[in-house]
Amino acid sequence: MNEIIRDDLESICNSDLDWERFKDRTVLISGANGMLASYMVYTLAYLNEKNPHLNIKIIALCRNLDKARARFSDFLNSPLLQISDENILNKINISEDIHYIIHAASPASPQFYGIDPVGVILPNVFGTRNLLELAREKQSNGFLFFSSGEVSGTADKKVITESEGGYLDPTDIRNCYGESKRMGENMCKCWHHQYQVPTIVVRPEHTYGPTLDLNNDKRVFSEFVSDVVNNRDIKVKSDGRPVRTFCYISDATDGFFRALLKGKSGESYHVGNSAGQMSVGNLAELLISLFPEKKLKVIYEGRGQDDNYLENKNNIRPMLSTAKIEELGYRCKLSVRDGFYRTIQSFLK
């Protein structure tokens, strides 16, 4: 296994969380190939490796079996890891008990919002319904839904809490993602209220790390990492002023598990780095400064007319307050500088 990923897993597993809650339990994870969910699969598989008595069965749902076998190659020999391509848009038929469900299946990159908005909406609405019904049928102990900071929309405040939502225009095609995540959140609340399904929602900020897909992920921070890894000057396709908040994946993964294991059912939790806010331009300059021997430059240019990437036009989006999850003991360990250095090194190694 990549040594940086292994170090991350060691850090996550050494946290103060009660991993015994997963002992002899089955955890189903949708979107398991994704950047965020794959770290949760890694964490549970690594826990089994470190502590065989835990006996955690992992059902990893994904669309691309070959990609999953490559991503989880270090754990394929384990009888406790089951990889499946079952489609969550259909009724899910699993005979065994499912104790925890982690629903992270959803296209997250704005490159998909303009070319396949229906494909963005479906897993967040119909997929969420099917998994909530599965949790209801199995009387699961926990259901974790991956929402997004996008649900915050536009707001006048610099920092917002989980209960403060901004405006999203439902007639803007880009909001297929934010609106469907909002609906998914409301569905979790309703299933909890009406059927007592123990749902928890997490809203991650921009999360990055060694599981970025540098070939297909067109989000700006992923493209910046790809440029540095491949010795290319960074091209910023804007004026560089948009400000975003960035969180390294091991910190975020701790937050996701912390919300699932220690959070209050029916509630939502922001997961991010309160010290990780930075403009896109400054991020580009930071990344080239980490590897001065490459002698890279930052070049500012606009997007071409045929570019399918639908940008968020809000230069400064409200920062998500992490005070609520910090009450559960959440703390970020890595700065933006250290996190991106680890990320780039993981690909160079």
Q: Which two tokens stand for residue 64?
A: 């691309």
pLDDT at residue 17 greater than cutoff 80: yes
- Summarize the confidence of residues 46-55 as an average pLDDT: 98
pLDDT at residue 305 greater than cutoff 70: no
Query: Which band of pLDDT confidence, cut at 50, 70 and 90, is reported for residue 309?
Result: low
Q: What is the largest CA-CA distance in the chain?
A: 59
Q: What is the dihedral of CA 66, 71, 76, 82, to 10 degrees?
A: -70
Note the pLDDT tens digit of each residue in 240-251.
Answer: 998 999 999 999
- pTM given for the model: 0.94
pLDDT at residue 308 greater than cutoff 90: no
**Per-residue model confidence (pLDDT) at position 140:** 98
**pLDDT > 90 fraction of the chain, expressed in percent and rounded:** 84
pLDDT at residue 285 greater than cutoff 90: yes
The helix, strand and coil proportions of the chain, stated in percent and rounded to the nearest 5, come to: 40, 15, 40
pLDDT at residue 23 greater than cutoff 70: yes
**Per-residue model confidence (pLDDT) at position 167:** 87
| 3-state SS track over 294-337 | HCCCEEECCCCCCCCCCCCCCCECCEECCHHHHCCCCCCCCCHH
Query: Which band of pLDDT confidence, cut at 50, 70 and 90, is reported for residue 317?
Result: confident
Q: Which two tokens stand for residue 162?
A: 């989980």
- Summarize the confidence of residues 290-309 as an average pLDDT: 81
Query: Which band of pLDDT confidence, cut at 50, 70 and 90, is reported for residue 181?
Result: very high
Note the pLDDT tens digit of each residue in 62-106.
Answer: 999 999 999 999 999 999 999 999 999 999 989 999 999 999 999
pLDDT at residue 24 greater than cutoff 90: yes
Note the pLDDT tens digit of each residue in 164-174.
Answer: 878 889 999 99
pLDDT at residue 154 greater than cutoff 90: no
User: How many CB atoms neighbour CB 281 within 10 A?
Assistant: 18
**Per-residue model confidence (pLDDT) at position 71:** 96
